[in-house]
Amino acid sequence: MAEGTAVMAFYTSRSRDGVVDDALASSTQAGFEIDADSEQVESGIENQYLEFDGYYDRWWFNFAFNLDADRPPSEPVLSIGCGQHIYPANAADEADYRAKMDGIFELLCRLAVTLDVDYAPLFNPMGRRAVPERRPIAEAVEELPRMGVYSREVLDELGGVAAMFESPPWYTASLEDGNTVVIESDTPWLEGGWRPPTEAPYLDDAAFNDSDDSAPNERRGLADPFAALEAGDIGTDLCVPRDKIAPEFRNEDLEVVHIRVDEERNLRRLEDGTFVRNVVDDDPGDDMAVMMAMLEDIPADAAADELMVSALLHEAVPPAFVRLEDPDGETVVTTVDALGSDVNKVELLISLGRIAQQQGVDDEGMQEMTQLLTKLERLDDLENIEGYIRDRLT
């Protein structure tokens, strides 16, 4: 799923009568507490919304109803702002993440039945590729969400479950009235230790893809490139503020931070010595714990608004990409960061790291890679960067 906040949206052809009462009753059944006193009408550019605050345990969700009979096809009758609750890195631990996802999943399923949905995606609204701008829905959606509910009619228009994605989806479930839940892959869910249920009062039946069912401990391969650096070594990390943690990092959130490794295995800014994050020296056992370990031991002098997390915790990113010999020097990280915004910089660094591993690139090869990337910047040639670099390092 793309980075940023997540929204649950419910597109339905049913009449507006009783929609609010029915939806709130089903939300309560799913374990959500709706604050009736929070009801307010909010005006958008073209639409008005009846909004409520909802809580699942201590987690807040925004419920927004659009009951306009003339609402455009892209407007659902109900949207629920989920913030970043679906991302494992925003949970305190695996138990916390599983609890949140259990509630979110049950809410999606129960509301899909109650509202007699045609289509109910859980998606990132920034890309809007899961939003149907017209009808029929199957033709209007540019990219299917990683988690969604489909009516029998929409599923038939898509060609059935087998035709939805390039490979069989990780999980499918049947609800009442012919609705089908489809989860494309185990990402990011398994990163936080969550698996949707195969038996529940709101499910008729459910199953995992046999090829994936035996991989509950599958990991993305996270590792800290700074673990290879010694105390006193300097380097360049590519970071985001801790409230911007997401499965995929946006270029606009990234910041190159010049750092030094201190005696306590902390990364501190070169310019003023302020704390950035912990070095993750040891593998704590799962991806979620790796992410949590970056800010596990915060020193007393650390400022809360200056804490950051690395976007480079991937085993494909080698220490040579981040290590600095000279405070005024360049690294592969700083050179990639200087490229245009049309390329996903984190994905590019991971891809270049794999090329370096596959081709056994030495220190001289790293310098050549940096020079090639600098040339790309001058030429403004950002297409097929990986192929360009691979061919010239062969």
Which tens digits make up the pLDDT trace of 234-274? 999 999 987 776 666 788 889 999 999 999 999 999 999 99
Say what the pLDDT of residue 130 is.
Answer: 92
Q: Say whether pLDDT at 213 is over 50.
A: no
ω into 216 cis (within 30 of 0)? no
SS (H, E, C) the chain: CCCCCEEEEEEECCCCCCHHHHHHHHHHHCCCEEEEEEEEEEECCCCEEEEEEEEECCEEEEEEECCCCCCCCCCCCEEEEEECCCCHHHCCCHHHHHHHHHHHHHHHHHHHHHCCEEEEEEECCCCCCCCCCCCCHHHHCCCCCCEEEECHHHHHHCCCHHHCCCCCCCEEEECHHHCEEEECCCCCHHHHCCCCCCCCCCCCEEEECCCCCCCCCCCCCCCCHHHHCCCCCEEEEEEEEHHHCCCCCCHHHCEEEEEEECCCCEEEECCCCCEEEECCCCCCCCHHHHHHHCCCCCCCCCCHHHCEEECCCCCCCCHHHCEECCCCCCCHHHHHHCCCCCCCHHHHHHHHHHHHHHCCCCHHHHHHHHHHHHHHHHHCCCCCHHHHHHHHHC
Greater pLDDT, 14 or 229: 229
In angstroms, the CA 73 to CA 345 distance is 34
Q: Say whether pLDDT at 302 is over 60.
A: yes
Say what the pLDDT of residue 215 is.
Answer: 44
Interval 329-353: pLDDT, tens: 999 999 889 886 667 888 888 888 8
Q: Where are the domains of the chain?
A: 6-208, 225-393
User: What are the structure tokens assigned to 146, written together?
Assistant: 């990683």
Q: Say whether pLDDT at 394 is over 70.
A: no
Say what the pLDDT of residue 59 is.
Answer: 94
Say what the pLDDT of residue 265 is.
Answer: 96
Say what the pLDDT of residue 179 is.
Answer: 95
Interval 93-114: pLDDT, tens: 888 999 999 999 999 999 999 9
Greater pLDDT, 4 or 82: 82
Residue located via tokens 């009808």: 135
Q: What are phi and psi of 319, to 5 degrees?
A: -55, -30
The amino acid at 393: L
Q: How confident is the model at residue 44 (pLDDT cuts 50, 70, 90)?
A: low
CA distances from 223 to 2, 93, 124, 293 (A): 21, 18, 27, 11
Q: Say whether pLDDT at 305 is over 60.
A: yes
Q: What is the overall mean pLDDT for the chain?
A: 87
Interval 165-193: pLDDT, tens: 988 999 999 998 889 999 999 988 988 88
Interval 359-385: pLDDT, tens: 777 777 777 887 787 776 554 555 567
In the chain, the percentage of residues whose pLDDT exceeds 90 is 56
**Nearest alpha-carbon partner for 332 in 318, 342, 344, 343:** 318
Give the mean model confidence (pLDDT) for residues 63-67.
94
Greater pLDDT, 243 or 30: 30
In angstroms, the CA 214 to CA 208 distance is 9
Say what the pLDDT of residue 211 is.
Answer: 58
